[in-house]
């Protein structure tokens, strides 16, 4: 039938994608047999040759090697790119195992069956403790749609109980939210938004959102929020390294040794200014969320000292005193 002839080109591409590479060439006869095996259709060699030429003419890179056969020589992803993407999926503990497997299967559809074992060297999805929120990708889709439409959303926000089970906060109360943008911060996905009850920015972990729906009501413009002039996606990500709430401050940090500038770049990017970079000690100035700065200072206090603001410095001292009291206790 004419319709069968038209679909053969897709069968040819499928066979070349799945069963050929530079070490596994396929003759026209091989392609015929594979199509017959998969689809119970056996096109003649002339049809296969014509379809291969058509695929080449529209941009597919198919290398021919005379009587030895041919193979699909260019894929959607280079090996390094594919390894990186698979590792990113495996490393994200917030993607449930079933969905992580489905994503990896979709990515590896573009490579031959002979290449797939190379990608088994990365940790298996089942070996990592993962989120159990199967709604996460649906939540992302709804949020993306709401943001594009400029509409509010409502949802339940969940947290883990002492039994490690997800349960709604505030007895299942629905949060009415103006969503602005989503952020992937160190493997966690957050919604940056405004909780309707207040006039500031909030963050919600997307993995903890459920029962989401779009509300036919325009979002509260971000320009009307407190400190709106300081809010932009780029600044927000750089300043909120722990995705904490609250104000941002201009801070001055003493760095014991220039080599520790690497730690600053890992956390804050290259947005900060450095004074006296040639000295053993150097001074760094940057803008960062205050609560995030306190957490960071407690983590890296061995090599850094927060000089300003004085108010933040005092808060760090208070936290250190609290920790000292806790660890002075004897069992």
Going from N- to C-terminal start, the domains of the chain cover 2-72, 79-127, 136-231, 248-328
What CATH number does the domain located at 248-328 have? 3.30.70
The 8-class DSSP code of residue 63 comes to E
| Helices within the chain (DSSP H only) | 2-19, 28-39, 45-57, 79-91, 97-108, 136-149, 233-239, 261-268, 290-300, 310-328
Tens of pLDDT along the chain (331 residues) come to 444 667 899 999 999 999 998 889 999 999 999 999 999 888 888 999 999 999 999 999 999 998 889 999 888 887 778 877 877 777 666 677 777 788 888 888 888 888 877 766 444 545 544 455 667 788 888 998 999 999 999 999 888 776 667 788 888 889 999 999 888 776 678 888 888 888 888 888 888 898 999 999 999 988 888 766 556 666 666 666 666 667 788 889 888 877 788 778 777 777 777 876 556 678 888 888 888 888 888 888 888 888 989 999 999 999 988 888 888 876 6
What does the alpha-carbon distance between residue 122 and residue 90 come to, in Å, rounded to a whole number?
A: 8
Spell out the CATH class of 2-72. mainly alpha
For the segment(s) 136-231, the CATH number from 1.10.1060, 1.10.3470, 2.30.30, 1.10.10 is 2.30.30
Environment class of residue 208 by beta-carbon count within 10 Å: exposed (0-12), middle (13-18) or buried (19+)?
A: buried
What does the alpha-carbon distance between residue 106 and residue 68 come to, in Å, rounded to a whole number?
A: 30
**Encoded tokens for 208:** 């903890």
**Residue owning tokens 């007895």:** 171
Peptide bond into 309 cis (omega under 30): yes
Q: What is the DSSP string of 116-168?
A: GGGGGGSPPGGGS-----TTHHHHHHHHHHHHHHTEEEEEEEEEE-TTS-EEE
Asked whether the beta carbons of 304 and 254 are under 8 A apart, the reply is yes
């Amino acid at each position: 039938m004419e319709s069968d002839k038209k679909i053969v080109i897709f069968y040819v591409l499928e066979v070349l994608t799945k069963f050929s590479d530079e070490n596994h060439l396929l003759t026209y006869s091989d392609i015929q047999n594979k199509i017959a095996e998969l689809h119970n259709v056996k096109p003649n060699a002339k049809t296969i040759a014509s379809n291969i030429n058509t695929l080449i003419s529209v941009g597919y890179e198919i290398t021919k090697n005379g009587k030895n056969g041919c193979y699909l020589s260019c894929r959607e992803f280079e090996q390094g790119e594919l390894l990186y993407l698979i590792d990113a999926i495996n490393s994200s503990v917030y993607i449930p195992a079933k969905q992580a497997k489905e994503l990896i299967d979709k990515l590896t559809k573009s490579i031959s069956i002979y290449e797939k074992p190379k990608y088994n060297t990365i940790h298996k999805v089942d070996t990592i403790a993962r989120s159990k929120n199967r709604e996460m990708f649906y939540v992302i889709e709804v949020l993306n749609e709401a943001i594009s439409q400029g509409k509010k959303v409502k949802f339940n926000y969940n947290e883990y109980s002492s039994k490690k089970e997800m349960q709604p906060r505030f007895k299942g109360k629905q949060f009415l939210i103006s969503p602005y943008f989503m952020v992937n911060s160190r493997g966690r996905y957050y919604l940056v938004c405004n909780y309707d009850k207040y006039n500031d920015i909030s963050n919600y972990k997307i993995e903890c959102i459920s029962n989401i729906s779009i509300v036919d009501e325009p979002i509260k413009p971000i320009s009307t929020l407190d400190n709106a002039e300081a809010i932009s996606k780029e600044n927000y990500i750089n300043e909120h390294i722990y995705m904490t709430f609250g104000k941002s401050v201009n801070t001055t940090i003493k760095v014991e040794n220039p080599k520790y500038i690497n730690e600053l770049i890992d956390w804050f990017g290259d947005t900060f200014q450095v004074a006296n970079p040639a000295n053993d000690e150097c001074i760094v100035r940057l803008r960062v969320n205050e609560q995030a700065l306190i957490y960071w200072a407690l983590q890296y206090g061995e090599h850094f000292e927060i000089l300003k603001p004085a108010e933040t410095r005092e808060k760090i001292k208070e936290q250190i005193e609290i920790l000292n009291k806790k660890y002075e206790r004897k069992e």
